[in-house]
Amino acid sequence: MTNPTPNKLPLILPRSPILVSDSSSWENIGFAHFQQPPCSVPEFVSPRHILCLNAGKPVRLKQVVDGERKVVDSIPGDLAIYPAALCQQFSWDSEAEFFNLFLEPSFVTRVGSDLFGSDRLELVPQLGILSDPLIYQISLALKTSLETDGATSRLYADAIAQALVVHLLTRYSTHSRQIKLIAGGFTQAQWKQIVDFIYANLDRNIHLAELAELVQFSPYHFAHLFKQSTHISPHQYLIRCRIERAKQLMAMGMSLAEVAQTVGFASQGHFTYHFKRLVGVTPKVFLRRVP
């Protein structure tokens, strides 16, 4: 038996995760993709909230959470929510594949305070058969981001974490409520601040809170206004800025490896992937076409 789980959780499983966010720069959210044989998980207490989604075949899951016992027949897509600091114990009797999302309680509290004016919102355990397509799509999006962008996916993970927590607090907390979104957009001065900051920090793993602080918005409202103004996410915009700067550096004769590093891509392969996705051709083909 090993203890390979992300964020150093005291959770013992037979196999290492297929994919885990440990080596990424994510701060408030973690992700792991597991495929496990039938087993019993000894009692443990998680310091983080855990969202568990069935990503494989149907499985009978036995749960004991905070003294409550429940047996469910989980099907693909089913969601369970296990708040932090509760005693948990699990077992299943067939091969199981699942995604785990991990959230820092302090982050959830901060988002609740910023958006709802309350730091006493608590997640309610969900041990039954719960279907939430949005959370399942979020887990798939995080998986793809890790596979594609790896260590440079912080801005994306930040925005996803904000959206996820807002969704959880509006639907699965002790005082569920709807959030009032800010209408309008950024002023010209605010937009200039944002763009100047992004271009000055292309080589860094920019995080959402930095950008939001520039214009005095909460990270969630910043991400909402950004997408409302540009029709793309801050992460997508950052990638496009990196590609535009890369074109300039390539025209100046810088090698592709140097370009990739200078504009903040994890590797030349990572740079080539996004360049072809956005421009339509590889960097080498693009260079041949430049007069």
| pLDDT tens digits for range 248-291 | 999 999 999 999 999 999 889 989 999 999 999 999 999 887 66
Same domain flag for 141 and 192: no
Q: Model confidence over 95-146: pLDDT tens digits?
A: 999 999 999 999 999 988 888 777 677 899 999 889 999 999 999 999 999 9
Same domain flag for 154 and 280: no
On whether residue 75 sits in a domain, the answer given is yes
Q: Model confidence over 208-243: pLDDT tens digits?
A: 999 999 999 889 889 888 988 888 999 999 999 999
Tell me how many domains the chain contains. 2
Give the SS3 label for residue 20: strand
Give the distance, in angstroms, between the CA of residue 125 and the centroid of all CA atoms in the same chain: 21
Sheet containing 29-36: which strands, arranged edge to edge?
19-20, 29-36, 96-103, 49-54, 78-82, 126-131
Q: How confident is the model at residue 193 (pLDDT cuts 50, 70, 90)?
A: very high
Answer whether 80's CB lies under 8 Å from 52's CB: yes
Same domain flag for 11 and 145: yes
Mean pLDDT of 163-190: 81
- What the block records as the tokens of 64 is 């004991």
Answer whether 60's CB lies under 8 Å from 71's CB: yes
pTM of the model: 0.82
Same domain flag for 185 and 166: no
C-alpha distances in Å from residue 245, one per residue of 50, 153, 236, 276: 39, 19, 14, 15
Tell me what pLDDT residue 176 has.
62
Q: How confident is the model at residue 1 (pLDDT cuts 50, 70, 90)?
A: very low
Same domain flag for 82 and 147: yes
Same domain flag for 166 and 196: no
Same domain flag for 162 and 106: yes
Q: Which domain holds residue 51?
A: 6-171
Among 171, 197, 224, the domain boundary falls at 171
Q: Is the pLDDT of residue 177 over 70?
A: no
Same domain flag for 234 and 262: yes
Among 118, 139, 171, the domain boundary falls at 171
